Amino acid sequence: MEAQQKENVVTLGKLSELLDSIEQSAAVLRNALKTEHPRVEDDSGQDSAEIASSLNLPFHSSESVAIHASRLRVNSERLAQLATPPRHLVFEAAGSFYVTMALDVVTKADIATIIHKLSGKSGQEGVPVQVLAQESRLDGDLLARILRHLAVFGIFQEISLGNFANTPV
């Protein structure tokens, strides 16, 4: 019983440290969104804030803000690991292979570009999976499953049943 109490104290310490760091980084990021950053040029003479904005990276307009964004992500992942049973972490790691394979399929078929081109023509966001399958010469049911799997990770978005769009990712 005493060993369990010691382990709980260690876990509580880790939890408190992670939450404090997450709160500190979140405060910096909130402040960064509220204030305008001074213009900082990179080696090529381009304004870093303009570059960050054009790439949809609001937290990369300055080095210090980017560091806090990185800390927030790392500490959030550490918090998730602390709160997740070890066997689930193993299942997640084993399943990451599927994400890699799904990305391989959509990259080789250039699905994001197809969605971009066809969304612009129709004037609406998203493209039916059957149209994507026809354009890419892939099986429609398989492509739908792959796109839904990647949508879980924010890589694509299912606007409505069988209708997919790109995300900023």
Regarding whether 92 and 76 lie in a shared domain, the answer is no
The pair of three-digit structure tokens given for residue 141, joined into one six-digit string: 């049911």
Q: In what order do the strands lie in the sheet with 156-160?
A: 127-128, 163-166, 156-160
Regarding whether 92 and 69 lie in a shared domain, the answer is no
Regarding whether 40 and 77 lie in a shared domain, the answer is yes
pLDDT digits (tens, 9 = 90+) for 23-40: 998 898 888 878 765 555
pLDDT digits (tens, 9 = 90+) for 62-98: 788 888 888 988 999 899 888 889 999 898 888 888 9
Kindly report the backbone phi and psi dihedral angles of residue 98, in degrees, each rounded to the nearest multiple of 5, phi listed first. Answer: -65, -35
Domain that holds residue 7: 2-83
What pLDDT is stored for residue 138 in this prediction?
A: 97
22: CB partners within 8 A, 6+ apart: 72, 75, 76, 79
What pLDDT is stored for residue 38 in this prediction?
A: 52
**Is the Cβ–Cβ distance between 159 and 125 less than 8 Å?**
yes
Separation of alpha carbons 123 and 121, rounded Å: 6
What pLDDT is stored for residue 48 in this prediction?
A: 60
pLDDT digits (tens, 9 = 90+) for 105-138: 999 999 999 999 998 665 567 899 999 999 999 9
Separation of alpha carbons 144 and 151, rounded Å: 10
Q: What percent of the chain is predicted at pLDDT more than 70? A: 82
- Give, in order, the Cα–Cα distances in Å from 159 to each of 121, 141, 149, 152, 154: 17, 17, 14, 13, 12
Which whole number is the average pLDDT over 11-18? 89
Is 4's pLDDT higher than 90? no
Regarding whether 128 and 74 lie in a shared domain, the answer is no
Number of domains in the chain: 2
Domain closes at, from 59, 83, 107: 83
For helices 2-34 and 63-83, what crossing angle results, to 10°?
A: 150
Positive or negative: CA dihedral 144, 147, 152, 154: negative
What pLDDT is stored for residue 94 in this prediction?
A: 87
Regarding whether 72 and 42 lie in a shared domain, the answer is yes
Domain closes at, from 83, 117, 136: 83
Regarding whether 114 and 50 lie in a shared domain, the answer is no
